[in-house]
Amino acid sequence: DRQRAASLRAMAAPGRQFLSFDGRDGGRSVEVVGELSSARRIAVLVPGAGVGLDAYGRLRRGATALREELGGGTAVLAWLGYRSPATVSPAALTTGRADEAVPGLRALVDEVRAARPAARISLLCHSYGSVICARSASGTAADALVLYGSPGVGAESVAALRTGARVWAGRGGDDWIARVPHVRVRVPFVATVGFGTDPVAARFGAEVFDAGDGGHSDYLLPGSRSLTNLARIAAGAEPLGASR
């Protein structure tokens, strides 16, 4: 498998920093971009569907772009901590994979908080990753929860998340996820399909930030409005063009 081999060679390059790695079952890893031991601001990237070892370079590029936007005294953790569903698959329409991922994400945030108690920790949650973040929101040690490119999170409102973290939501102007129906339907003897209220809708109650005009995979592109605002939120600053 040449694609997998090329990805693993890149991950093994000198200077890369991993807190954990497991090559089985699609792959699991936590990579640090920046200096975690001295970071005052820490962002955890939680990716969506279609991200595994074969497509890991995309997650790494996003983490690198965010770290460069944040500047010194910061670290970005690229968290590939679950078996990501295929983008077009039944698993991407239910919370099953997200529920499996929750314990690992909670443990990571707790460990980072214990290691860096004074640091600001933000969860930046893309697409299906926003479902994971919402499921782990109650009692999280993170300071901010950012849902972007989200199909919904399986909760009808910020209040239903029962979190003390500040909750943000954003969606690019050309993101196809806007055309996904924001419903939850119980299929007897199968599962609940769909994720409910759109996080950028006023009734959800998140603080909405300007995510620019990009598409579903463009949120961490260098020079984009979405990257600028994600970095500002992670740094504890108000994003440009924020609204309630």
User: Per-residue confidence at 78, pLDDT binned at 50, 70, 90?
Assistant: very high
- State the Cα–Cα distance between residues 30 and 44, nearest whole angstrom: 9
208 domain residue, yes or no: yes
Using DSSP, state whether 9 is helix, strand or coil. Answer: helix
Residue 47 predicted with pLDDT over 90:
yes
Q: What is the mean pLDDT of the chain?
A: 92
Cβ atoms 92, 86 nearer than 8 A: yes
Residue 46 structural domain: 2-235
Q: What is the pLDDT of residues 126-162, one digit of tens each?
A: 999 999 999 999 989 999 999 999 999 989 999 999 9
244 domain residue, yes or no: no
Name the pTM for this structure: 0.93
241 domain residue, yes or no: no
240 domain residue, yes or no: no
- State the Cα–Cα distance between residues 174 and 147, nearest whole angstrom: 16
41 domain residue, yes or no: yes
193 domain residue, yes or no: yes
190 domain residue, yes or no: yes
- State the Cα–Cα distance between residues 123 and 234, nearest whole angstrom: 8
- Whichever domain contains 197, its CATH number is 3.40.50.1820
